Amino acid sequence: MKKLFGVIGDPISHSMSPAMHNDLFTAYSLDAHYQPFHISRGNLTDAIKGFRAMGIAGFNVTVPHKEAIIPLLDELDPLAEAIGAVNTVVNQDGKLIGYNTDGSGYVKGLLNQKQPIKNKKVLIVGAGGAARAIYFTIAKEGPELLDICNRTPKRAEQIINDCPFQIQAQVLSRQDAEESLETYDLIVQTTSIGMHPEIGHSPLSIHKLKPGAFVSDIIYNPLETKLLMEAAEKGAGIQNGIDMFVYQGALAFEMWTGIGPDIERMRHKVLNQLGGLSC
């Protein structure tokens, strides 16, 4: 019997996960299908009841359900519980277990770029759900410094206070971050600023970027945001959001199937899908 997997969100039509995962099911000759489900906020509880009834094998969770789904699950992985958000659910013998692969996927992608984190000075831009997952996972790797720049200090302070790992950290305004940018070895941009169609915007000025710094933006449409273009012009190493997207998906696929998938195949599929978008 064909196993059913999927992704829930609102909106969801833009998701590249179905193409990526269905390609993997074909590659590994698995009798399975991955389906996008457009679920509004008000229908989330009923949707999860429906998933239980039809025995869905696993699913991904995207905006705006990553936090709201938690009380509807049977169990949480400790990291997902600490982060307070779930992006992957596994059906284990009828028990729905929530995980968060966003932070782990991000770090795997960063390490794949030969960018070690230990003893580095890192600045996170933004304090949303993705920032929280990335912050906790980077903190576990032992950076020397892990600061957050955000428009509203309260959200950033909450992330630092909730982090289960002891780390030197402070909250910075945009102006303070720009003036002290030469401090940081790694800058991680986690907001939607610069995403298509608002491609002419950048979350901060990098006129004081440290020589040899690495700038990472989790946006992948466009493939090179204004922030990344400016960083490249200053000679910095850059990374877009493809790595995070692919690696978090690979972790979910392995949880569901026990197979560690071909990362380069996944990357190629996603880039092909993006080729059909206005980047």
Annotated catalytic residues are 66
* Residue 35 assigned to a binding site: no
* Residue 50 assigned to a binding site: no
d(CA 183, CA 225): 22
Pair 100, 80: CB distance under 8 Å: yes
* Residue 102 assigned to a binding site: yes
d(CA 85, CA 102): 10
* Residue 194 assigned to a binding site: no
d(CA 197, CA 242): 18
d(CA 116, CA 275): 30
Bridge partners (DSSP) of residue 96 are 91
**Count of CA atoms in the C-beta half-sphere (13 A) of 248:** 29
* Residue 78 assigned to a binding site: no
* Residue 1 assigned to a binding site: no
Task: Say which residues have a Cβ less than 8 Å from residue 74's Cβ, sequence separation at least 6.
Answer: 95, 96, 97
d(CA 279, CA 275): 8
* Residue 87 assigned to a binding site: yes
Pairing status of strand 88-92 against strand 95-99? antiparallel
* Residue 16 assigned to a binding site: yes
* Residue 151 assigned to a binding site: yes
Give, in degrees to the nearest 5, the angle at Cα 258 between 254 and 264: 45
d(CA 68, CA 85): 8
* Residue 126 assigned to a binding site: yes
* Residue 262 assigned to a binding site: no
Neighbours of 168 (CB within 10 A): 10
* Residue 275 assigned to a binding site: no
d(CA 214, CA 211): 9
d(CA 68, CA 50): 16
* Residue 17 assigned to a binding site: yes
* Residue 154 assigned to a binding site: yes
* Residue 153 assigned to a binding site: yes
Q: Pick out the residues of the known binding site for shikimate.
A: 15-17, 62, 87, 102, 220, 248
Q: Pick out the residues of the known binding site.
A: 15-17, 62, 87, 102, 126-130, 150-155, 218, 220, 241, 248
Q: Pick out the residues of the known binding site for NADP(+).
A: 126-130, 150-155, 218, 241
